[in-house]
Chains A and B, each alone.
Chain A
Amino acid sequence: MRKILASLLAVSAGLSVLSGCSGSSSSSGPASQSGSAPASNAPSDSAPASQAENKPSGERKTLTVEMFDLGSDSQQPIGKSYWYDWMQEQFGDPNNIDLEWMAIPRAEEVTKLNILMSSGDAPDIIYSYEISLVNNYIKQGGLADLTEAVEKNGQHLKTFLGEETLAYGQFGGKQYVIPQKRLFNGIVGSQIRKDWLDQLGLAVPTTHEEFHSVLKAFQEKDPAGGGKTIPWGMALNDMSMGYFSMQYAFKEAMTEEQFYTDNPWVQPGYREGIRFANTLFNEGLISSEFSLDKDSSQLKAAISNGQVGFVICNVGDYHLKSQGVVAALNQNIPEAEYVPCDPFENYEGKHPKLKYYPYGHYLMVPAASKVPEEAVLFLDWMCQDDVLFTLSSGFEGVHYEIKDGIPVDLDYNGDQKLSSDHNNDIRIIINGRDAGGFDASLKLRSESASPYQDFFIESYKMSEVDGIVDPWYFNGFQEPIEAEAKYTKTLNDKRTEMFVRLYMCDPAQFDATYDALVQEYMEAGGTEVMNARKEVFQRTMAK
């Protein structure tokens, strides 16, 4: 198995070089086809109208749509289960379109999409979370310009996404991408053992000084017993290392230009955030072997055995029923309890942390597609309130009943079963299950953390406080930056290595190590990326 993986990695690394030969010859096609089509004036409140308008006429067309193969046992067979038939019936037949589906394994999406794109076999609707992929395709002329198709067929889409979100899909003034709407923008959830704090007579820390002394108290008083206490449980991933929350708290005031174009490593104050982690590590307050714990399995085990005081993760992750980490902890230690805790306060008294853009993955139509307008029509159909609600929750009385304003699942297990988690693989226009309004949706989402719903809701609300969208982590500019497409992967790997070395190095050597590593980072492509971003910033955003 490992051998296969290794060779797979090697192959996919090779691919990133090879993928340059994507077909750009057909790039001028679809955009010009949709040329003189008049914009329809469908009012966005009349839901079924757009279907009626596009009366079946002429030859039947085929629209192929990518579907992530999630590999979860709850996912229904792609293209061969009830909801695919339902979409054909509701959208395909009225519009004279045959819907087809192509399964793409989630973990291999980039590699497989590259191959499909370069051979011209890609589906008509593709999507990916990878901005570097999008940039590459745009640069090579692989995507259809959807500006006019959206104008013609995308009236519901415009209302659903709003101008602002739709603008995130415009590159160089052209609508190459339709962003998926993201319902929940908070990411970072951090929590602390409430029962330990109570036992030691401490309050939930709100600044990093308080946080430091709480961790020290955990270490000294050893509430886990037997010297097993891990004040701050960490694993080898950006989230648990505080990259998305703690690091922001140490950054100082900066200009918008610095924010966009200075690499975090040289942004003012960043060094101090890393130094703080270095201090904690050298005082023994952080998991000593975090750098070996790639899949977080050691960390999860430590949490479930009641050893971990403080931990950062994706909002509510360890409380989810599907993860079962806190559930296992409570089986081992019934009185153990985590509460949300955000001690990373910055110079303004804020608690900045990463949040998402208001969009999820990037929906695209390859330039080679013969049906770009129908592709937009499909997405436009899917985002209508009633369609989306049915796709997300099923039919009332069959799949759900309304209780306290939210659709509560009935125990339905028949042929019309929703796929995966409430069709999250199928409703590709939205990330998150919409229950009609944000509060209802959050309440619904918290059910996945049952019986810790209250924790989940509180933790989520905390994750939105002072959230910032980091143009260095997410896509910063509405145009592809070549240097980024080239160096991002290398630089991200380098970043993780730097984190580990800087967290673990001798405090006396810290500054020297920091300077040396940042220099290496800059030489490995960091400088090129910064210069390219400066150029784009000054051209497009500077006022």
Chain B
Amino acid sequence: MKKTASWYLKNTILYGVMVILILACLLPFIHVVALSFSSNRAVTSREVFLWPVEWNLSAYRQVMGDASMVRSLWFTILLTVLYTVICMAMTIMAAYPLSKSRLKGRRLFMGLIIFTMYFSGGMIPDYLLVSGLGLVNSIWALILPGAVNAFNLIILRTYFMNSVPGELEESASLDGLNDIGILIRIVLPLSLPIIATLSLFYAVNRWNGFQDAVFYINDQAKYPLPLKIYNIIFNNSRPELLMTSGADATPVPGDGLKGASIVFSTLPILVLYPWLQKYFVSGVMVGAVKA
């Protein structure tokens, strides 16, 4: 292809915009990492930008030495794995039948599911429900209320409808597979990219989520990591809280410690990304259907 001036111009703009976007996401994180490795003096004096000043590991020593932090980490890993597995099972089992036009009442069910995207009971009714079910202070309070995400369900259903050829399922059924067999042996293997993507959605959502835990969990041993970190960063650090607490105000943690806590909680999910990335490839279907 001949590279004209306008081609260069377009690409320069395109790349420029992308670089800006990437930096906008990346720089704050690098800044936090740099803070977490710097001395208190350098952090307070704002000398740290992208590279640690007066390198030290005391913030990490403090975070790792905090038994409750490590315990929260394990709890959050357990929570996230359980949540993702349960969510995916629920979502798949709902989305597959709903993708079939022979299911009676399909529109009604879809309508009910979509309804929940627009209306919800509100925070207090939600709490009353969870409390009434006896789930308060249990890991299930953080799993069951969010076990199906209507948005993810719709994405998966659309994928089943559009990307898995009916002919494949037909031939499988001719070979004697029932609906469950078709789902497990034919449809799911063909849907790995979307399953990986939705699993990641669920997992990241659960990993970062804490506002339900604020209300449903009273036992510190069952704090997810983000709630723990939210407490470290925000409790007593607002001026009005400091002021009302007066002589009993709790020391505000330094930015270095905040940074170390944030890195500590983000690392596991960062490690997960590249590993899942291999599933984000298209082309699984190539050659599956012979013309």
The chain A residues found within 8 Å of chain B, CB to CB, are 1, 4, 7-8, 11, 14-15, 18-19, 21, 68-73, 75, 77-78, 80, 102-108, 111-112, 114-115, 118-119, 121, 129, 182-184, 187, 237-239, 295-298, 300-301, 304-305, 314, 317, 320-325, 327-328, 331-332, 356, 360-361, 420-421, 424, 431-433, 445
Contacts and interface: CB of A to CB of B under 8 A. Distances in A.
B245 to A, nearest CB: 7
A424 B248 contact: yes
Contact of A304 (B44, B232, B235, B253): B44
A382 B226 CA distance: 34
Interface in B11-47: 40-41, 44-46
A184 B40 CA distance: 29
A4 B234 contact: no
B246 A322 contact: no
A224 to B, nearest CB: 13
Contacts of B252: 322-323
22 contacts: A70-B236, A71-B231, A71-B250, A72-B250, A73-B232, A105-B227, A105-B230, A107-B234, A112-B214, A187-B243, A239-B239, A297-B255, A301-B44, A301-B46, A305-B45, A305-B46, A322-B252, A323-B251, A323-B252, A328-B40, A361-B244, A432-B247
B123 interface: yes
B241 A106 contact: yes
A18 B124 contact: yes
Contacts of A295: 237
Interface string B227-269: 1101111111111111111111111111100000010000000
Contacts of B211: 4, 7-8, 11
Interface stretch (B167-175, B180-188, B216-224, B271-279): B216-224
Contacts of A325: 44
Interface string B103-130: 0000000000000000000111001100
Contact of B220 (A1, A78, A106, A323): A78
B215 interface: yes
B149 interface: no
Sorted from nearest, which 8 A-B pairs have the closest CB atoms? A71-B231, A322-B251, A301-B46, A106-B235, A432-B247, A71-B235, A129-B244, A237-B239
Contacts, number: 170
Contact of A121 (B131, B220, B232): B131
B136 interface: yes
A390 B255 CA distance: 34
A299 B22 CA distance: 30
B45 A328 contact: yes
Contacts of A103: 218-220
A33 B238 CA distance: 41
Interface string B44-77: 1110000000000000001000101000000000
B123 A14 contact: yes
Mostly, the B contact residues are helix
Contacts of B99: none
Interface of B: 40-41, 44-46, 62, 66, 68, 122-124, 127-128, 131, 136, 208-211, 214-215, 218-221, 226-228, 230-255, 262
Given A18-B123, A421-B251, A433-B247, A105 B136 contact: no
B245 A431 contact: yes
Contacts of B239: 237-239, 296
Contacts of A14: 122-123
Contact of B251 (A298, A304, A314, A320): A320
A61 to B, nearest CB: 20
B210 A4 contact: yes
Contact of A314 (B122, B226, B231, B242): B242
Contacts of B250: 70-72, 75, 106, 420-421, 424
B81 to A, nearest CB: 21
B290 to A, nearest CB: 46
Given A107-B230, A115-B127, A184-B246, A73 B44 contact: no
B37 to A, nearest CB: 17
Given A301-B44, A421-B248, A239 B243 contact: yes
B45 A332 contact: yes
A37 B56 CA distance: 63
A356 B248 CA distance: 13
Nearest to B71: A77
A15 B247 contact: no
A322 B254 CA distance: 8
A71 B69 CA distance: 11
A32 to B, nearest CB: 27
Nearest to A332: B45
A11 B121 CA distance: 12
Contacts of B221: 77, 80
Nearest to A188: B243
Nearest to A492: B240
Nearest to A70: B250
A71 B245 CA distance: 15
Contacts of B214: 105, 108, 111-112
Contact of A328 (B41, B210, B215, B245): B41
